[in-house]
A = this chain, B = another copy of it.
Amino acid sequence: LRGLLKIYPNESVTALVNVADDFRLHGLAISPDLDTVTYTLSEQVNPDTGWGRAEETWRVKDELERLGGETWFSLGDLDLALHLYRTQRLDEGATLTQVTLEICTRLGIRTRVLPASNQEIHTQLKVQGQGWIDFQDYFVAQQHNVAIEELRFEGIESASPGPEVISSLEESDAIVIAPSNPFVSIKPILEISGVTDVLRERRQKVVAISPIVGGAALKGPASRMLEELGFERNSVGIASLYKDIARTLVIDEVDSELSPRIESEGMRALTTDTIMDTPIKAAALARAVLAEVSLAEEE
C-alpha cells in the first residue's frame, strides 16, 4: 500500500481492510488492522513494531497492571484515544465505515480506507488441545506459537460487504492482494458475500503478492499455517489459494524456481524483489504490479 501511494495519486487508491480481527476489550472497540493502516498512512505508526503509535507511552497500561487488569493486549495511551473515539461513535450509531472516514479525515489521510464489512466477523482458530479460540488469544496472547487445525469466521455468512467495497472492486483499474496472511487477513475479506464473485469476474486485473519468501513468512504465522492447514509451505501453496481470483502471483527472486509450478496451477508468476525494506523498493514492487496489470489489458 505504501508503495502504491508513492507512485499513484493517494486519493485514487482504496484500501479494503480486514475487520475479522476486531474485538472488544475493556469495553472498547478495537480494530487492529484498520488502525495499522491509518497509523501507517498518517505516518504515525511505530516503525520498530509495525503496529501501534510512534512515540507511544504506557501510563494507562502500567496503572491497569497495578490494578490487576488484563494487559496481554498492549494498549498505548495514544492508541487508546483512538479506541475511545471509535467506541463512542459506534455507540452513538455510526458505522465503522463512517468512523474510519472521520478518523482518516482528521489524520489527513486522502486514501480511501474501507472496512470490509460493518457487521461483526470474528476469526476463530481450532488449536490442538484447546478447541476453538479467538484470534487475539491465538495471535497476541499465545504469540501464534500453537498449531492450528482449523479456521472459521464467525458471523461471516450474514455479513454484507461495507459500503463501496464491491463498487471499488468493480471500478478499480487494478486490484492488488497485499502480501498479508492469506488465512487470517485476506480470507475473511474474500468470504464476505459478493467479494470473491467480483474478483473472479475481474481476475485479469488482480495481482497477488506472495507473503512467503524462501519458505518463510517475513512476519507472522503465514508459513506454518500453510503447512498446518494442508498447503505447501511456499508460494505454490499461495497460488493454490488465489488461482481462481488472481491472474498473477508475484514471487520473490529467491523463489524463481517455483515459477513453472505456479504457472501449472494456472497463474502467471512474476518474479521480482518482494522484500519492501525501503520505500524505494516498495515503489518498485508497486510499479511492477501495475505494469503487470497494464500488460494484461493489452492482451
Q: Which residues of A contact B (CB under 8 A)?
A: 24-29, 57, 59-64, 66-70, 75, 77-78, 80-85, 87-88, 90-91, 102-103, 106
Contact = CB atoms under 8 A, between A and B. Distances in A.
A247 to B, nearest CB: 40
Copies of the polypeptide in the assembly: 2
A187 to B, nearest CB: 28
A185 to B, nearest CB: 25
Nearest to A80: B60
A91 to B, nearest CB: 6
A102 B69 CA distance: 10
Given A67-B106, A68-B106, A106-B68, A27 B88 contact: yes
Nearest to A107: B67
A78 B67 CA distance: 10
B27 A91 contact: yes
A59 to B, nearest CB: 4
A140 B64 CA distance: 25
Given A26-B28, A29-B27, A91-B24, A84 B69 contact: yes
Contacts of A85: 26, 64, 67-69
B81 A67 contact: yes
Contacts of A82: 63, 67
A72 to B, nearest CB: 12
A84 B102 contact: no
A62 B75 CA distance: 16
Nearest to A81: B63
A58 B106 CA distance: 20
A213 B281 CA distance: 74
A54 B86 CA distance: 28
A103 B67 contact: yes
Contacts of A69: 81, 84-85, 88
Contacts of A25: 88
Nearest to A62: B81
A272 B16 CA distance: 70
Contacts of A78: 59-60, 63
Contacts of A26: 28, 83-85, 87-88, 91
